[in-house]
């Protein structure tokens, strides 16, 4: 597998080409994505923003192999997702992608440690011990590893989720509103961990969010509106993102 060598910042880790997605059929079909072209650069922290219904979640689901396009294609590395079977997509998610969802990120019957190692366990693999310890200490879960999710606070649960996403050293981590259910302090922690993963080990992260505060942690923001890419911004701050959203009428 990849050796977690930081991927050169200029390389494209994932790409959407003319990505188009309709929900439903015939007259009632709703266009969620319309010919979207996006490159996700390696070792970079990309935020996807946009108002409700802008297609940002759909784009992320398609990029992550959770949903399929109506037309166009998605590449993860050199792999065209549209050519993969359900089983191959599953293995791709397991081996090459990490996930952080907004809520319900953990399996209630497994301990924090088992949850972190879940993708590896599903693949029957061992998790690199040194790497695992590093991730766990980074997110500050050392004394919570044997706890079950019900014994953890919301912030701690999201930290476990982030640790799970990072522990497999995936090519790319997708985070879907990872701080949507957290207070501001816990949110800052989670966003900080993800930022650190990009800076320290060159992790590639794509995050869907509607909070300018969260987007400010990213290297780059992609703005979506009505299923199209309407703008992009590098080195965002909370203020510039807020201004841009206002100007886009979000």
Give me the phi and psi of 247, to 5 degrees please: -70, -25
Binding mask 181-220 for other proteins (x = CB under 8 A): ----------------------------------------
Distances in Å between the Cα of 36 and the Cα atoms of 22, 43, 47, 184, 215 are: 13, 22, 15, 32, 20
Of 171, 248, 245, 170, nearest to 214 (Cα)?
Answer: 245
Closest approach, Cβ 173 to other proteins, in A, equals 12
Q: Interacting stretch for other proteins, rule CB under 8 A, among 10-18, 120-128, 196-204, 234-242?
A: 120-128
- DSSP, residue by residue, 122-138: HTT-PPPHHHHHHHHHH
Please report, as residue ranges, which positions from 68 to 87 form the binding site for other proteins (by CB under 8 A): 86-87
Q: Interacting stretch for other proteins, rule CB under 8 A, among 5-13, 38-46, 94-102, 217-225?
A: 94-102
**For other proteins, which residue of 82, 90, 137, 146 counts as binding (CB under 8 A)?**
90
**Where would I find the H helices in the chain?**
56-63, 86-96, 112-116, 118-122, 129-139, 154-167, 184-201, 212-215, 238-247
Closest approach, Cβ 105 to other proteins, in A, equals 7
**Tokens matching residue 195:** 């930022």
For residue 26, state whether it binds other proteins (rule: CB under 8 A).
Answer: no
Residues that bind other proteins (CB under 8 A): 57, 61, 64, 66-67, 86-87, 90-91, 93-95, 99, 101, 104-110, 114, 118-119, 121-124, 164
């Amino acid at each position: 597998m990849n050796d977690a060598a930081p991927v050169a910042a200029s390389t494209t880790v994932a790409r959407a080409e003319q990505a188009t997605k309709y929900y439903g059929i015939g007259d009632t079909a709703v266009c969620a994505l319309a010919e979207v072209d996006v490159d996700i650069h390696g070792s970079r922290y990309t935020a996807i923003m946009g108002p409700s219904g802008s297609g940002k979640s759909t784009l992320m689901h398609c990029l992550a192999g959770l949903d399929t396009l109506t037309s166009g294609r998605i590449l993860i590395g050199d792999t065209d997702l549209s050519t993969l079977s359900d089983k191959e997509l599953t293995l791709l998610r397991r081996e090459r992608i990490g996930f952080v969802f907004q809520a319900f990120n953990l399996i209630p019957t497994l301990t924090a440690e088992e949850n972190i190692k879940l993708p590896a366990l599903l693949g029957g693999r061992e998790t690199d011990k040194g790497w695992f310890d590093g991730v766990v200490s980074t997110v500050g879960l050392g004394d919570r590893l044997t706890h079950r999710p019900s014994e953890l606070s919301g912030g701690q649960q999201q930290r476990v989720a982030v640790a799970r996403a990072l522990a497999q050293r995936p090519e790319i981590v997708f985070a879907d509103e990872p701080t949507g259910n957290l207070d501001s302090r816990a949110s800052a922690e989670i966003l900080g961990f993800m930022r650190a993963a990009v800076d320290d080990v060159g992790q590639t992260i794509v995050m869907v969010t509607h909070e300018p505060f969260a987007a400010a942690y990213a290297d780059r923001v992609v703005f979506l509106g009505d299923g199209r890419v309407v703008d992009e911004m590098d080195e965002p701050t909370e203020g510039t993102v807020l201004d841009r959203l206002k100007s886009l009428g979000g």
